[in-house]
Amino acid sequence: MADFKKSVVYQIYPKSFQDSNGDGLGDLKGIIGRLDYIKKLGVDYIWMTPFFVSPQKDNGYDVEDYYHIDPRYGTMEDFEELSKEAEKRGIGLMLDMVFNHTSDRHEWFQKALAGDEKYKNFYIFRKGKENGEPPTNWESKFGGSAWQYVEKFDEYYLHLFDVSQPDLNWENEEVRKEIQKIVRFWMGKGVKGFRFDVVNLISKGAYEDDHEGDGRRFYTDGPKIHQYLKELNETTFGTDAEIITVGEMSSTSMENCYEYAGEDSHEMSMVFSFHHLKVDFMGNEKWVLVPFDFRKLKKILFDWQTNMAEHHAWNAVFWCNHDQPRVVSRFGDEGKYWKESAKMLAGVIHCLRGTPYIYQGEELGMTNAGFTDIEQYQDVESRNHFRILQEKGISKEAAYEILKVHSRDNSRTPMQWNEEKQGGFTDGTPWIEVNPNYKEINARKELQDEDSIFAYYQKLISLRKQYDVIAYGDFEALAVEHPDIFAYKRTWQGRELLAIHNFYGKETRWSVGVNLEEYECLLSNYKDHQIQGGEISLKPYESVILYK
């Protein structure tokens, strides 16, 4: 497989990608039918969100059985065919593994509830306080206490997420051995990558009340986390140099990421961190409407780029995934400069130091859903907050505006393949409505247009493969104080790349301080650009990538 520093990963949310049997849900056969499209884009790996057997309380992140495929997505034969067909096209499959918790329907937890001591010890059961309160005051990430009482034992079990997602006890060596077995099973099926869900939460610290917050400081980047990851690496994927891994790091610190994704630390190939996607929050509060803070966005991305490089650690770089709104709606322009802003945002990410991830439809410039009725929303978080916002005294209209910006369903609407009924996603009724703009924005249309957003992504992907400076170069932040421009320099063995992006829908100028006429333009989202000596004038959302 490809060198992960030169690679690009394409994320598929199977439920919304392509339905092959008319039941309104995307499936594995649907993905097989679209492999040529993915190959055409030029990516190296496909990361798919979980399709294991699951009651779907948390969109498949509540796994009931790690060895079998949920019938709604297909069969093991379908998976084996997908693996084979992807390999023929030089594409590796990356699976999404959820090992912080299982579903409460998992056989292990069912045995635990039946009183089997061996399996009770697979989870985290604790006595409550003498006053009848839960063991600690930790809050679940989905709201409410992180502890659930079980009368039969007069004990509580820990669930950092939904009550139906009990946390696994990684202190128990038997649990770790079972997890290693699961990873080796999928390696045996030809899997070439793993994404580990909220993996930095698996090592819990002291079980104490948190008088400063919601408890996360006691279980985030916990005391044995590096030991556990090194062990997992050593016993499973680390035995195959071709396998790439990425850890999803929840509320992590950069210092821990130097080790998670360090060149010689033998843990993960790279990490996802999310700090840069909170710049349109108010503090940590997501359900508000505030303009995004451009300076903060630059500072966070520049800090991670610079410091991870200094510590020889590797980033995954991205704007979008199944939990984030569409980036062109978020930081770009859905209207007049839709195409220019989508290309500019792609340019920002794809020339950074790190492995770029593209989320399905991002390469088409798909936008937020624009739903106007709560019945159109399927996401439990969105429905809950629609109610909570109104309980706080916010009007229905204002609550809808907030959902239109922040709901996770914005990224979960079906992939827009063509201008036919349901955007070509299904012959049936889709599980969530198709974005009404599918007739204007779709893959068929873009594949016929040499100047499309899709074509621009293709070019960016091939630049990373062609120019070592993008894959391996040092990083230097530029125009740090400029109010409109996102710019940086990459250098490698006497070669230089300048990536200059106007983040806004108005013209702007920048005095660079080097003679730009000495550089050739590798890629731009406008036909012509204005460079005079060390001065560049940028049109709305203009992006210029220069090389010497």
CATH number at residue 346: 3.20.20.80
**pLDDT over threshold 80, residue 249:** yes
Same domain, 117 and 90: no
Same domain, 287 and 271: yes
pLDDT at res. 283? 85
**503 occurs within a structural domain:** yes
Question: Last residue of some domain: 431, 459, 487?
Answer: 459
Same domain, 29 and 78: yes
Q: Give the C-alpha separation, 446 to 171, whole Å.
A: 51
Strands, E assignment, 351-445: 355-359
**3 occurs within a structural domain:** no
Same domain, 84 and 120: no
pLDDT at res. 515? 95
Per-residue tokens: 317: 């770089």
Query: What's the total number of domains in the chain?
Result: 3
CATH number at residue 519: 2.60.40.1180
Count CA within 13 A, CB hemisphere, residue 247: 34
**422 occurs within a structural domain:** yes
Same domain, 34 and 144: no
Contacts 24+ apart (CB under 8 A), 173-176: 174/118, 174/121, 174/122, 175/122, 176/228, 176/231, 176/232
- Entry pTM: 0.97
Q: Give the C-alpha separation, 461 to 43, whole Å.
A: 7
Report the percent of the chain where pLDDT is more than 90.
96
C-alpha pair distances (Å), 129 with each of 113, 136, 204, 416? 21, 8, 19, 53
Q: Which band of pLDDT confidence, cut at 50, 70 and 90, is reported for residue 381?
A: confident
**165 occurs within a structural domain:** no
Q: Which band of pLDDT confidence, cut at 50, 70 and 90, is reported for residue 2?
A: low
**pLDDT over threshold 60, residue 1:** no
pLDDT at res. 279? 96
Same domain, 297 and 224: yes
Question: Last residue of some domain: 158, 186, 201?
Answer: 158
Same domain, 188 and 134: no
Report, as an integer, the average pLDDT of 102-114. 98
> Cα–Cα–Cα angle for 68, 70, 78, nearest 5°?
75
Same domain, 126 and 153: yes
**73 occurs within a structural domain:** yes
Report, as an integer, the average pLDDT of 158-164. 96
**380 occurs within a structural domain:** yes
Q: Give the C-alpha separation, 529 to 357, whole Å.
A: 28
Report, as an integer, the average pLDDT of 209-229. 97
**410 occurs within a structural domain:** yes
Same domain, 65 and 139: no
pLDDT at res. 141? 87
pLDDT at res. 142? 82
Per-residue tokens: 473: 């170069």
Question: Last residue of some domain: 459, 481, 512?
Answer: 459
- Least confidently predicted of 34-48, 220-234, 361-375, 381-395: 381-395
**464 occurs within a structural domain:** no
Domain that holds residue 537: 471-547
- Across the chain, mean pLDDT equals 96
C-alpha pair distances (Å), 215 with each of 129, 207, 284, 440, 450? 16, 9, 15, 46, 52
C-alpha pair distances (Å), 341 with each of 322, 347, 448? 21, 10, 20
Same domain, 451 and 475: no
Same domain, 82 and 114: no
Same domain, 154 and 66: no
pLDDT at res. 384? 86
What angle in degrees, to the nearest 10, is found between the helix axes of 453-466 and 338-350? 20
Q: What digits encode the pLDDT tens for the residues 474-525?
A: 999 999 999 999 999 999 999 999 999 999 999 999 999 899 999 999 999 9
Strands, E assignment, 381-503: 474-478, 485-492, 495-502
Report, as an integer, the average pLDDT of 12-40. 98
Count CA within 13 A, CB hemisphere, residue 116: 11
CATH number at residue 136: 3.90.400.10
Q: Catalytic site residues?
A: 197, 248
